[in-house]
Chains A and B, each alone.
Chain A
């Protein structure tokens, strides 16, 4: 099957049918969850502090739900109305914007403590209309993104580069717009698990001298750790969850979920799951 970004512009490709298919596919859900967790890790946020984050290409809110679970607040932008509609139905906590990243962002300087973007950046390199110039669009996007981040914040883009030239183009434009950083390639020797993360630093904050590039997974001494299945990072996510447990109060603790379900029932919603002893537990099966 050819890559979706070759077939149609994203707002047309992700019509109601594709958007539903994408969101309800458990394989996609688990990949998306892994990539999001890795992106959050690469953001290197201060521990135990709720952050205000931007999700670029938030889609139906699959990544946003993980940001919710991690106790962060977020704003998501997406160009596909069908995807946003599903995000609404799934009652994600973040604010949703219908927006073309290539037209730039309209957030005040220093708004966000970080930005993530999962499987979106390659779309931005397309020229879907005659008037589209990928370099102009990337330039507008990175300039306004840089400004919307507070100094020292990071933007992490997991993406599927088409080739080396595309990688280089994206990085060149990002650097011209003020970012520092580079590419982290996890599991570079595994055809299945290899993942590209563009890690951008929006300046540095006081104490650091120079931002340190994060270490890739599955290289050097960790080379033997190459995952056997796509669920490679589930143990790492679990580990992370146990590590942060107890320190940070999740925004969705059991009481809160019960409260929210109660409100939904009062509004006459159907299909609200019954409360059980499992309500509000970390959903292991998700990964």
Chain B
């Protein structure tokens, strides 16, 4: 799972509606998988990001190259860096924990297991 998708992810346990974002990353293995640079797509996704959540999640997996505040305009260097973080950084293994209900979603082979127990639905 790419980091951009993690930034879109919140807990979906029934009734867990507040403080359920972002899912906290731990025991994570990341892998860099190169992909084509597409500035048009990056620009449209940046508008959808929760920047502070992204900075936190990136920090949880050891990435400290992002600026604290989202710049007003995006130069090539910024876009190349954000491309690497959002679209080329994959969470291959690890845990994602809901900050509210503490449900743990496991990631195996890059695939998050989002299945719930019947009591959570």
Contacts and interface: CB of A to CB of B under 8 A. Distances in A.
B99 interface: no
A96 B110 contact: yes
Given A108-B8, A144-B12, A103 B116 contact: yes
A230 interface: no
Contact of A108 (B9, B113, B121): B9
Contact of A251 (B38, B50, B114): B38
A52 B44 CA distance: 9
B110 A88 contact: yes
A50 B109 contact: no
A108 B2 CA distance: 16
Contact of B9 (A73, A84, A106): A106
Contacts of B12: 103-106, 144
B45 A108 contact: no
A73 B10 contact: no
Interface in A67-108: 73, 75, 77, 79, 84, 88, 93, 95-100, 102-108
A108 B10 contact: yes
Interface residues of A, number: 34
Given A52-B45, A108-B21, A95 B2 contact: yes
A111 interface: yes
Contacts of B21: 108
A131 to B, nearest CB: 5
Given A103-B121, A108-B8, A108-B10, A97 B112 contact: yes
Interface residues of B, number: 32
A110 to B, nearest CB: 7
Per DSSP, are chain A's interface residues mostly helix, strand or loop, or mixed? mixed
B82 to A, nearest CB: 14
B36 A256 contact: yes
B27 interface: no
Contacts of B2: 95
A104 B121 contact: yes
B5 interface: yes
B118 interface: yes
B5 A251 contact: no
Contacts of A73: 41, 87
Interface of A: 49-50, 52, 73, 75, 77, 79, 84, 88, 93, 95-100, 102-108, 110-111, 129, 131, 140, 144, 251, 256, 259-260, 263
Closest 8 CB pairs of A and B: A106-B12, A99-B114, A50-B41, A111-B8, A95-B5, A95-B1, A98-B113, A103-B121
30 contacts: A49-B40, A49-B44, A50-B44, A52-B44, A75-B5, A77-B114, A79-B115, A84-B111, A88-B109, A93-B35, A95-B110, A96-B1, A96-B110, A97-B112, A98-B111, A98-B113, A98-B115, A99-B114, A99-B115, A100-B114, A100-B115, A102-B121, A103-B114, A103-B116, A104-B121, A107-B8, A108-B10, A110-B48, A251-B38, A259-B34
